Amino acid sequence: MPNKTSLSATKTITSPDYNGLVRFLLEPFLEDPGSLHVDCEQLDQTPKIWLRVAFDSTDKGKVFGRGGRNIQAIREILKTTATLAGKSIYLDIYDRNEDKSDNWPTDRRNYNSGGRKKTGRSRPRPSRKD
């Protein structure tokens, strides 16, 4: 009689291909898929993954979708994939037309998930009195 082994005993843990996954999810929305640039940074010391994506601003509406539904679904797929691998993921989106040098921002603390610099406002604006 053959020896039965459980799936968990033969399961090997590999890291997902986040570059390939984000390309698979974003390219259908882009007029020119060649304009898509993806940078994936994984640190061995922490379970965090940073995905930086840049594409032409003309495709921004299609990628984000009405009310942000498309980008929200893409973020959820990436989050679920990373969670299954025991990681957390951060997706930053940049406008390809703003930065022609392909230099990615290195200081993550000064950027929000939309890829724009934070203004540093610590308190809300005062209300206008008419």
| Mean pLDDT, residues 35-44 taken together | 88
Cα-based distances in Å from 35 to 29, 69, 79, 100, 107 = 12, 22, 24, 11, 24
Helix pair 69-84, 18-26: axis angle to 10 deg: 160
Q: For the chain, which residues make up each domain, given as ranges?
A: 16-99
What's the pLDDT score for residue 22? 94
Tokens representing 36?
Answer: 């898509």
Q: Which CATH architecture has domain 16-99?
A: 2-Layer Sandwich (3.30)
What's the pLDDT score for residue 100? 47
Average pLDDT of the chain to the nearest whole number: 77
Predicted TM-score (pTM) of this structure: 0.64
What's the pLDDT score for residue 110? 43
